[in-house]
Amino acid sequence: MTTLALAVRDSGTMLRRNLLRMRRYPSLTFMLIGMPVIFLLLFVYVFGGTLGNGLGGPSGGRAAYANYVVPGILLMAIAGTAQGTALSVAMDMSEGIVARFRTMAIFRPSVLTGHVLGAVVQTMLGLAVVVGVALLVGFRPDAGAVEWAAAAGVLAMTAFALTWLSVALGLVADSPETASNLPMPLVLLPFLGSGFVPTESMPTAVRWFAEYQPFTPIMETLRGLLLGTGVGHHAIAAVAWCAAITAVCFWWAKALYNRDTTS
Amino acid sequence: MSTLSLALSDSATMVRRQVKHMRRYPSLTLQLIGVPVLFLLLFVYVFGGTLGDGLGPGSGGRGAYVDYVTPGILMMAVAAVAQGTAISVAMDMTEGIVARFKSMAIARVSVLTGHVLGAVLQTFVAVGAVVAVALAIGFRPNANVVEWLAAAGVVAMVTFALTWMSVAMGLVAKTVESASNLPMPLVFLPFLGSGFVPTDSMPAGLRWFAEYQPFTPIIETIRGLLLGTAIGTSGIAATAWCAGIALAGYLWAKRLYNRQS
C-alpha cells in the first residue's frame, strides 16, 4: 500500500472516530448551532427593524436586514465550530489517547486530519441548519444553483482554514479550558467586520480594521454570491486569506504535534 | 442593645466582609465592569452609526445612539453584578462559612443583608465606571442635580431588588456553576426591552413582551431623567416592579436560608 493510500485510509478512520463522537455527544453540536441561531433571531427580530432602517437607500427595514446579516451569522457559526474543535483537540491531547495512537502504525498527521475533516462536516451541517432558520425568518437570496455551489465552496474553504487554526490553538493550549478561550476572537471578528453593519458606518480606525480583516472579504463574497451585490476584488482576497491561514496553521499544527512529548 | 441595633451592627460587619472581598479579589469587579463597557463600545462604535440612523427622523447617528443606549447598558451592569452576587452567595453556602456563622450569636439575616448591601456598593462602582466611559465617548445627558440623584435612586432601587432575587438564586443553586447560570436571563432582559432599540421597531409578539417586562419601564425612567424624554407611567411601573421583585426575592431568600441548616 502506498504512503498516500495509507494516509487517506488512516485519515478516513480518524474522520469516522470524530463523526461517531458527534453522534454520541450531540449536545456540543446543538450548542454550536444554537448560538448563531440565537444571534440571528436577536439581530433580525430585536435589532432588525432599526438596523434595517439605518442601512440607508431603498432598504425595507427588517426584511432587508435579514438578507444583510445572514453571511455574518454564517461566519459566526464557522467560528463557533472552530472553538469546539480546539476544545476537542485539547481534550485528546490531555487524555492520553494521542500517546496511544503514536504507538500504533498509523499515519501521524491523520489524527489532526480527522479532526479537521470532522469539523468541516459538522460545520456544513450547522450551516445548513442556520440557513434553514434564516429562510424561515425572511432571508431571500436570489442565487442560482451555481452561485449556491460557489457560496458553499467559500464556506467550506473558510471552515477548512479556521479549523486548521483551531487545531493549532488546541495543540498550543495547556488545558481544555484555555483551548476553549483561545479561539474566542474568531467569534468576535464578524462583529468587527461587515457582518452586521456596513464598514462605512464605523468611525475611521474601526473601519480601517474592519475593511482589512479576513472575515470582511469572505462575508462580502458570500453576500455577492447569494444576494447579487458586487463581489469585486473580495473573492480574490477571501481565497488568499483562506489559503494563507490554512498553509500557516497546517505547518504550525504539524510542528506542534510532532514536537509534543506526551508520548 | 436592642434586636434592631444588633441586626444593624451585624449587617455592617457583613458589609465590611463583602467590601474586603471586593478589595482582595478585584478581578470579579473588573470583569463586572468590563462586560458592560465592551458592549457599550461595541454598540456605539460598531453598530452605533447604523442604529442611530435607524432610530427615526431627526436622529443624529452615533451621537444620538450613545445617548439612547447608555440606560440599557447601565441595566446590563446592574444585572451583571447580580450574577456575581449569586456566585458569591453560592460559594459561601458550599464552603461551610455560613454553617460557622449560624453557630455564632449574630442576627441570622445579616449574612444575606451583607451580600445585598455589598452588591449595591459594587454596582455603584460599576455604574460609575460605565457612566464615565459613556461620557468619554459622547454621552451627553441634560439632567440637573435633582434628576441625577433621582436616576441614582432608580439604579439603587433596581440593584436592591435584583440583588435580593440573585441572593435567592445563589441559595437555591446546588453548585457555584449553576449559580452563575441562573441569573443569566437578567443580563439578556435589557436586549429584549427598550435598552438597545425602541420597542415599536419590534414585531408584535416580541413588542408586547418588551413593553411589559420589568426592565423597560426602568430604562425609560432613567432615560427620561437623564435625557428629558417623557417618563409617563414608566416611573410608577418601575417602582412597582422593583418593590415586587425585592419583596419576593427577600421572602424567598429568607425562607431558603432558614431552611438550610
The domain ranges of chain B are 3-260
For chain A, the domain total comes to 1
- Distance in angstroms (rounded) separating the CA atoms of residues B152 and B145: 10
Answer whether A82's CB lies under 8 Å from A162's CB: yes
- CA dist., res. B207 & res. B163, Å (int): 27
Question: Residue A36: which domain range?
Answer: 25-258
pLDDT tens track for B153-171? 999 989 989 988 888 988 8
Which region among A17-31, A40-54, A157-171, B35-49 has the lowest average model confidence (pLDDT)? A17-31
Q: Comparing A100 with B44, which gets the higher pLDDT?
A: B44
Confidence bin at A209 (pLDDT 50/70/90): very high
Residue A263 pLDDT > 50:
no
Chain B environment of A42 (Cβ under 8 Å): 191
**pLDDT score of B107:** 62
pLDDT of residue A230: 82
B189 has pLDDT over 50: yes
- Residue of A166 and A151 predicted with greater confidence: A151
pLDDT band at residue B12 under the 50/70/90 scheme: confident
Tell me the CB-side half-sphere exposure of residue B69, using CA atoms within 13 A. Answer: 34
Candidates B70, B197, B41, B208; CA nearest to A65 is: B197
Say yes or no for a CB contact (<8 Å) between A46 and B192. Answer: yes
CA distances to B84, B157, B241 from B244, rounded to whole Å, are: 22, 11, 5
Residue of A nearest to B38 (CA): A188
Chain B residues in contact with A194 by the CB 8 A cut-off are none
Q: Give A156's pLDDT tier (boundaries 50, 70, 90).
A: very high
B49–chain A Cβ distance below 8 A for any pair: yes
User: Does B239 have pLDDT greater than 90?
Assistant: yes
Percentage of chain B surpassing pLDDT 90? 29
**Minimum mean pLDDT range among A3-7, B19-23, B158-162:** A3-7
Q: Tell me, what's the pLDDT at A261? A: 47
Residues 6+ apart with CB under 8 A from A69: A40, A43, A44, A48, A51, A195, A196
Residue A59 is classified by DSSP as -
pLDDT grade for B259, boundaries at 50, 70 and 90: low
pLDDT at A144 over 70: yes
Q: Within a domain: residue A177?
A: yes
User: Residue A55: its chain B contacts at CB < 8 A?
Assistant: 50, 54
Subunit contact B51:A202, Cβ cutoff 8 A: no
Q: How confident is the model at residue B222 (pLDDT cuts 50, 70, 90)?
A: very high
Q: Please check whether residue A156 lies inside any domain of the structure.
A: yes
Asked if residue A254 is part of any domain, the answer here is yes
Residue A188 has pLDDT above 90, yes or no: no
Residue B152 pLDDT > 90? yes
Q: CB contact, 8 Å: B211 with chain A?
A: no
If you search the block for the grid coordinates 455604574, which residue do you land on? B127
B130 vs A207, more confident: B130
Cβ B192 vs Cβ A46: under 8 Å: yes
Q: What angle do CA A231, A234, A240 make, to 5 degrees?
A: 140
Averaged pLDDT, A242-258: 88
Q: What is the pLDDT of residue B62?
A: 75
- pLDDT tens-digit series, residues A68-85: 999 999 998 999 888 788
Least confident of A108-117, A161-170, B37-46, B192-201: A108-117
State whether the Cα torsion B202-B206-B212-B213 is positive or negative.
Answer: negative
- Range in A112-126, A153-167, B136-150 the model is least confident about: A112-126
* Residue A216 grid cell: 470582511
Average pLDDT over residues B5-21: 68
Q: Residue A150 falls within a domain, yes or no?
A: yes
Over chain A, what is the mean pLDDT? 81
Q: In whole angstroms, give the CA distance from residue A83 to residue A85.
A: 5
Q: CA of A8: how far to CAs of A15, A20, B225, in Å?
A: 10, 18, 68
Tell me which residue of B183, B39, B227, B147 sits closest to A42, measured CA to CA: B39
pLDDT of residue B131: 93
Contacts of residue B198 in chain A, CB cutoff 8 Å? 50
What pLDDT band is residue A98 in, cutting at 50, 70 and 90?
low
Confidence at residue B216, expressed as pLDDT on a 0 to 100 scale: 93
Q: A55 and B49 in contact by Cβ < 8 A?
A: no
- Are the CB atoms for A73 and A95 separated by under 8 Å? no
Contact B227, B67 (CB under 8 A): yes
Q: What is the pLDDT of residues B29-88, one digit of tens each?
A: 777 788 899 889 999 999 888 888 887 666 567 788 989 999 999 998 999 888 888 887
Interface mutation vs chain B, best among A38, A46, A189, most B CBs within 10 Å: A46
